[in-house]
Structure 1
């Protein structure tokens, strides 16, 4: 099993939520800049939240099919330390972003089965794979058992994770990191701090929130 699994709390929109997640032990915070997201954060709010936590906590800007200049400019202005890329993107685009920031490249389970173009990212310097559900942020978990034989070593896992199931997901796939958003919220973009604490604890201890 992973000695120290990385824990990311995504969909951060405020200083209060950023500070609380950092104090709970999260390794990374996600700030969503994709315009279609109901958790969209402004550059100004993301910058304030980013500056409210210490440099040990990674600040990850999340983008979907956005132009290279927009991604790099937004990440710089918002003081992001890494970038998470969703969408239909070429390996050349991903590698260009990785020249400036560490990249979490998000793929879907279907991409692991015979999609050579998508899997080229696994060989790019500065790029780490994250496997997510077809509808990111939708709260629906992946079929971890079906992924056992194809889940790449060193990849991150997202998709419907929360305090109740993250330990089982880690046991099934041994990811390098886990990422959650919808199951940690009181409402879209507003964190439930008790759920955030429980999620981090469950990921660290290997126990679900109910002790199983």
Structure 2
């Protein structure tokens, strides 16, 4: 493998789990601010957790169909270093967020036809995820081999058991794990996180 695949552990809800993920070697931790999520975290906890992992670990705020003012206000309060955007969003909206933060724009495979608008945008990186993020269901990697965007991140049902195979199939720039790294929603399983990072590095 020519380039090191980055690893993001998402759905972090505590300082303890953020520090544990950083110590396991994760390059980024994700904090979900979408009210519908079972892994919802407050900006205050996210800020404390982010401060605890140090500046070398990216701190990503995750949002779903939330207003621009809410996203920017929450991201600032939480002191995140990047913003991950899910949902039906206009290009203008994404560009407005990208004026303040690096953006991970999340698309499902069905939305890949519209991905060209972001491929060359300097502030936006694509992430491919399942239609129901956080549900633990992997994407069909074989079906995506010919269309997976170069430089994109991959999510969707990734865990210690399958992340190496996913990396071999699609060569993503980074992988993102959530549900398969937990003992319960929002509570990370330390051994699963460590093995996820190990397998991603070997993938």
Same topology, TM > 0.5: yes
Aligned position for 1:129: 126
Query: How high is the TM-score relative to the length of structure 1?
Result: 0.94
Which residue in 2 is equivalent to 1:103? Answer: 103
Q: In structure 1, what is the equivalent of residue 195 of structure 2? A: 198
Secondary structure at the counterpart of residue 89 of structure 1:
coil
Give the distance between the partners of 2:135 and 2:77, measured in 1 at CA.
28
Q: Equivalences for 1:180-195 in 2 at 5 Å?
A: 180-195=177-192
Instruction: For residue 2 of structure 1, report the CA deviation from its aligned partner.
Output: 4.6
Report the Cα distance in structure 2 between the residues aligned to 1:81 and 1:2, rounded to whole angstroms. Answer: 26
1:65 is aligned to 65
Give 1:124 shift: 1.9
The CA distance in 2 between the partners of 1:154 and 1:24, in whole Å, is 24
Alignment-derived partner of residue 93 in structure 2: 93
Q: Separation in 1 of the partners of 2:50 and 2:125?
A: 22
The structural deviation recorded for 1:119 is: 3.5
Query: What are the superposed Cα offsets for residues 133-171 of structure 1, whole Å, 9 maximum, x if unpaired?
Result: 000000000000000000010000000000000000000
Aligned position for 1:15: 15
1:163 is matched with 160
The separation in 1 between residues aligned to 2:107 and 2:168, in whole angstroms, is 21
Q: How far apart are 1:120 and its partner, in Å?
A: 1.2
What is the RMSD computed on CA atoms of the aligned residues? 0.9
Runs (5+) with no aligned partner, structure 1: 207-212
Residues 95 and 125 in structure 1, CA contact (< 8 A), matched pair in contact too: no
Inter-partner Cα distance in structure 2 for 1:37 and 1:134: 15
Deviation of 1:82 after TM superposition, in Å, equals 0.2
Distance (Å, rounded) in 1 between the aligned partners of 2:159 and 2:147: 23
TM-score normalised per structure 2: 0.98
Q: Tell me, what secondary structure is at the counterpart of 2:89?
A: coil
Partners of 2:186 and 2:106 lie apart in 1 by 20
Deviations 1:148-205 (A, max 9, x none): 0000100000000000000000000000000000000000000000000000000001
Partner of 1:52: helix, strand, or coil?
helix
For the residue of structure 2 that corresponds to 1:152, the secondary structure is coil
| Whole-angstrom distance in 2 between the partners of 1:183 and 1:62 | 18
Equivalent-residue separation in structure 1 for 2:119 and 2:187 (angstroms):
33
Instruction: Work out the CA distance in 1 between the residues paired with 2:47 and 2:2.
Output: 31
User: Which secondary structure state, in structure 1, belongs to the residue aligned with residue 53 of structure 2?
Assistant: coil
Structure 2 match to 1:146: 143
